[in-house]
Amino acid sequence: MNLDSKDPKPKKKFIGFIFAWRGIVEVYKTERNFRFHVAAAIGVVAAGFLFDVTRLEWAVLLTIIPLVMALEMINSSIERVMDYLSPERDPLVGMIKDISAGAVLVASIFAVLIAILIFLPKMISFSWPW
Ligand SMILES: Nc1ncnc2c1ncn2[C@@H]1O[C@H](COP(=O)(O)OP(=O)(O)OP(=O)(O)O)[C@@H](O)[C@H]1O
């Protein structure tokens, strides 16, 4: 099996999934923020089961969680592209990276607001079943 990403015609289509998985693993290994997002996602899903969230609430959570993670991956990708194209310090490169990081921040802030909206009322009225 040829895993060289420069191969223009991978023999089997599913190899594309292996490349994509390799990208996810790379970001997980190298980006602390991404590992934080993964940990937060696990915590939110656990809280979802604990507080028995509705189907609509699951739909909202399962939309915002991968959105933040995907934006973090795109941000990491843009950082690498910029470092490759322009290894020297440059104000425009810095601005491009700032904007890209800002996109993650915007989604993250709204993810926190959504989590508060969904979980805070449930936490206030929560009582252990025993
Ligand atoms: N080539 C550059 N020119 C100007 N500013 C940069 C450049 N690279 C990074 N910056 C600034 O640093 C911020 C963080 O960038 P990045 O996450 O790529 O880290 P870094 O500064 O390159 O260091 P490292 O990759 O070692 O963490 C950017 O949002 C930008 O403000």
Complex ipTM, two decimals?
A: 0.89
CB atoms within 10 A of CB 8: 4
DSSP 14: T
Active site positions, annotated: 72
- Kindly give the interhelix angle for 91-124 and 32-50, rounded to the nearest 10 degrees: 20
Domains of the chain, earliest start first: 15-124 (1.10.287.3610)
| pLDDT of 9 above 80 | no
**pLDDT-derived band of residue 127, with 50, 70 and 90 as boundaries?**
confident
| Of 32, 82, 97, best ligand 1 pocket probe by most atoms within 8 Å of the beta carbon | 97
Give pLDDT tens digits for 21-50.
999 999 999 999 999 999 999 999 999 999
Ligand 1 touching residue 94 (CB < 6 A): yes
Q: Of the ranges 68-72, 100-104, 125-129, which one carries the lowest mean pLDDT score? A: 125-129
Ligand 1 touching residue 89 (CB < 6 A): yes
Closest CA to 27 of 68, 86, 87, 85: 68
